[in-house]
């Protein structure tokens, strides 16, 4: 929680917490002051927190990140009437406090992080041809498409359009022979949530895929680097855990076995997609975690598989 506590305290908020910045938090309302916060990480969650708090100040609040993170909050706040300025060159966003926001009708496109599981499923299962409708393809979120393209996946964008200020498209994916690639640098903030499922794609790609600069995954719902390394290895994949990523050599035949989601929704769904190409039966313990972000995941998987 320190990532959020620190900038809010700089703005004048009074926040109490357990040792190590752990919840629960106690917050006493205060008049906030504008700041220019230079975040050590690219995090849309931290950025959104600061911009929302900046709405309540008298002045301009700016956050600068080391790389560009997803910009849904900036788009949404601007649509609601906030004064937002974005500098792509410096990866900065500035909000002017005191704006009067106006209610809007919002149409939410499909989440590309959820679509990512079907993109990889379609890429690795022979004879697949899937079209995922109405997916948000905001350029700050399409790192997964760039990574899959680098892996020679057959993914195309169809029916591209704009809905409520957000770019939307239908995504078509067909089976292809995947190739290894390197995923690192400025691409990471734009696909950080998709790395577990990209690790599955890498397990079926020719060559060695290297994922770096992703230490952020160690502080998600689980340590996603450690968990994906251990669980894919249990299935027979060749995975080396790095301090800030993974090294995965594809081409190994995966086998069905017992694996564990560690109550992490993205791990549960990634392992389910890996199981599609594993020989034998795979049992995923605590698979119900998938419902955290995708309540219909199991039903959709069964539909796609014709069950």
Q: Could you list the active site residues?
A: 193
Cβ burial, residue 131 (10 Å; 0-12/13-18/19+) = middle
Cβ burial, residue 157 (10 Å; 0-12/13-18/19+) = middle
Residues 6+ apart with CB under 8 A from 143: 187, 188, 189, 190, 191, 194
Q: Is 123 helix (H, G, I), strand (E, B) or coil?
A: helix
Give the integer Cα–Cα distance in Å for 299 and 275. Answer: 16
Kindly give the pairing relationship between strand 238-242 and strand 36-38: unpaired
DSSP secondary structure letter of residue 296:
T
Paired tokens of 109: 């496109």
Nearest to 124 by CA among 34, 291, 18, 254: 254
């Amino acid at each position: 929680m320190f990532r959020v506590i620190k900038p809010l305290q700089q703005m004048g908020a009074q926040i109490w917490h357990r040792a190590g910045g752990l919840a629960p938090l106690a917050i006493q309302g205060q008049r906030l002051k504008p700041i220019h916060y230079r975040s050590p990480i690219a995090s849309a969650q931290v950025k959104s927190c600061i911009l929302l708090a900046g709405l309540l100040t008298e002045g301009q609040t700016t956050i600068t990140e080391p790389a560009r993170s997803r910009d849904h909050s900036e788009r949404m706040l601007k649509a609601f009437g906030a004064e937002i300025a974005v500098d792509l060159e410096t990866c900065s966003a500035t909000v002017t406090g005191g704006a009067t926001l106006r209610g809007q009708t919002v149409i939410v496109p499909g989440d590309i992080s959820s679509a990512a599981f079907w993109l990889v499923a379609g890429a690795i299962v022979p004879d697949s041809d899937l079209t995922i409708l109405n997916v948000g393809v905001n350029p700050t979120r399409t790192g997964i498409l760039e990574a899959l393209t680098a892996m020679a996946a057959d993914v195309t964008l169809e029916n591209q359009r704009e809905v409520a200020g957000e770019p939307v498209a239908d995504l078509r994916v067909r089976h292809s022979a995947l190739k290894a690639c390197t995923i690192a640098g400025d691409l990471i903030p734009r696909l950080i949530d998709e790395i577990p499922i990209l690790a599955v794609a890498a397990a079926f790609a020719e060559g060695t895929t290297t994922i770096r600069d992703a230490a952020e995954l160690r502080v998600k719902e689980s340590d996603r680097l450690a968990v994906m390394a251990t669980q894919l290895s249990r299935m027979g994949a060749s995975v080396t855990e790095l301090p800030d990523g993974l090294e995965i050599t594809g081409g190994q035949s995966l086998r069905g076995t017992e694996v564990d989601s560690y109550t992490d929704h993205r791990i549960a769904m990634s392992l389910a997609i890996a199981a599609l190409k594993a020989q034998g039966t795979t049992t995923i313990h605590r698979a119900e975690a998938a419902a955290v972000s995708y309540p219909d995941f199991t039903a959709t998987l069964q539909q796609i598989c014709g069950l």
